[in-house]
Homo-oligomer: A and B are copies of this chain.
């Protein structure tokens, strides 16, 4: 059996993990060889345990190297990474990538290229690190219409939310802690504002639907506005707050949204803590399933990359191209329900002066906008300082909720922007 030659582009965290797994001496049933590893940073080149003859500076060389069968793109971002992926496909090489941002932002171009060049692309490590969720969606659950996905797919946010709940930390304290632990970047925007989760949701939802979801259609809200009070009030109401990537396939179309979400305490996702990821899926035949594991980190992510390499190597060994269908990025694009039409129970936290009649005024505005109240928490009395009124609504249309909040926030007694979070059961 011909040895399949691998070219790894990028020896950062994941790339060095892949190199490490290749050095573990594991026996694979298909002969594969790490033939070339490209890294522009000389310190990284020196610290990796690979034979020096394997190392090159410029990842672009992998594209044209006739020895390389599979190009493994682990550079990240949408610059040279995109060039490498498209160039490799054009030159008839199979591609493995861990790059969710690239796939989400340029999926149409990349998946079209896969079809055009009759190529193959595997991207297990792009979502939820070591959890083989892409394989599960593409193969394991193929006999199902996926009705919904609830994903905790960003370890940074889940770590911050866990710390806020367990240690009583405020958002900024928890973020600083996450940065110290190496779980959050210096510039944490991509994670904490939900964009990273949205990239992953684009990939999962497109696989679930079998049609491309435009990342612009994913409603995205992060966790940076959350306060420790919200965690406490949610807990008093019997809920836990998680940043969820949500997909629902309804009669009206699909919902794709990322936002902090109140989940009942006994929901299986509520006990997913720390940097762990978990994806909760409802299939029409299979019912509820949960897949849980480390969503990031050197070796867990590299484990997914190497599984992809083996998959592609099997295809190449047996002369199969494109064993699995490519996501349809053509005309059959998804019909996405706009956020204004989404229907949810809501958590509302108002910051108001403690004056008689304020609750009645708020309740009145909600009622006139077809929003009925399930429960209310009103705490303490502070004559001079504003207090919190927390309301859990029954299900209501987002457009109505927004209109009501707009009106309430204009009340003279209301002293801060109202906090609204959606609830899933």
In the complex, what residue of chain B is closest to A287 when comparing beta carbons?
Answer: B294
Q: A286-B300, A300-B287 are in contact. Are A132 and B140 (CB under 8 A)?
A: yes
CA distance A214 to B329 in the complex (A): 49
Q: A310-B142, A318-B318 are in contact. Are A286 and B268 (CB under 8 A)?
A: no
Q: Which B residues touch A287, using CB under 8 A?
A: 130, 293-294, 297, 299-300
A303 on the B face (CB < 8 A): yes
> In the complex, which of the residues A124, A290, A324 has the most CB atoms of chain B within 10 Å of its own CB atom?
A290
A136 on the B face (CB < 8 A): yes
Q: Which B residues touch A60, using CB under 8 A?
A: none
Check A136 against B136 for contact (C-beta < 8 Å): yes
In the complex, what residue of chain B is closest to A272 when comparing beta carbons?
Answer: B268
**Closest beta carbon of chain B to A295's beta carbon, Å:** 11
**Closest beta carbon of chain B to A327's beta carbon, Å:** 12
CA distance A13 to B142 in the complex (A): 20
Our pick among B278, B299, B300, B318 for the contact of A323 (Cβ within 8 Å) is B318
Q: A285-B300, A286-B300 are in contact. Are A135 and B139 (CB under 8 A)?
A: yes
Check B26 against A145 for contact (C-beta < 8 Å): yes
Q: A287-B130, A287-B293 are in contact. Are A29 and B325 (CB under 8 A)?
A: yes
Q: Which B residues touch A140, using CB under 8 A?
A: 124, 132, 135-136, 304, 307
**Closest beta carbon of chain B to A242's beta carbon, Å:** 16
Q: Which B residues touch A413, using CB under 8 A?
A: none
A219 on the B face (CB < 8 A): no
Q: Which B residues touch A132, using CB under 8 A?
A: 135-136, 139-141
Check B299 against A142 for contact (C-beta < 8 Å): no
Q: A287-B130, A303-B285, A320-B320 are in contact. Are A310 and B141 (CB under 8 A)?
A: no
Check B285 against A293 for contact (C-beta < 8 Å): no
Check B283 against A288 for contact (C-beta < 8 Å): no
Q: Which B residues touch A314, using CB under 8 A?
A: 320, 323-324
Q: A268-B271, A299-B286, A314-B323 are in contact. Are A28 and B292 (CB under 8 A)?
A: no
Q: For chain A, which range describes its interface: under 10, 10 to 19, 20 to 34, or 35 or more residues?
A: 35 or more
A227 on the B face (CB < 8 A): no
Q: A135-B135, A139-B311, A307-B140 are in contact. Are A285 and B145 (CB under 8 A)?
A: no
Check B26 against A303 for contact (C-beta < 8 Å): no
A143 on the B face (CB < 8 A): yes
What 0/1 pattern do residues 277 to 317 of A give for CB contact below 8 A with B? 01000011111111111100101101110110011001000
CA distance A307 to B140 in the complex (A): 6
**Closest beta carbon of chain B to A396's beta carbon, Å:** 31
Q: Which B residues touch A300, using CB under 8 A?
A: 285-287
A105-123 residues at the B interface, CB under 8 angstroms:
none
A371 on the B face (CB < 8 A): no
What 0/1 pattern do residues 186 to 219 of A give for CB contact below 8 A with B? 0000000000000000000000000000000000
A131 on the B face (CB < 8 A): yes
CA distance A144 to B297 in the complex (A): 15
Interface of A toward B, CB cutoff 8 Å: 17, 21, 24, 26, 28-29, 124, 130-132, 135-136, 139-145, 268, 271, 278, 283-294, 297, 299-300, 302-304, 306-307, 310-311, 314, 318-320, 323-325
Mind listing 18 A-B residue pairs with CB under 8 Å? A26-B143, A26-B145, A130-B287, A131-B289, A132-B135, A139-B310, A140-B304, A142-B306, A143-B310, A144-B303, A268-B292, A278-B290, A283-B303, A287-B293, A288-B293, A289-B292, A290-B292, A318-B318
Closest 5 CB pairs of A and B: A132-B140, A143-B306, A289-B293, A130-B286, A290-B292
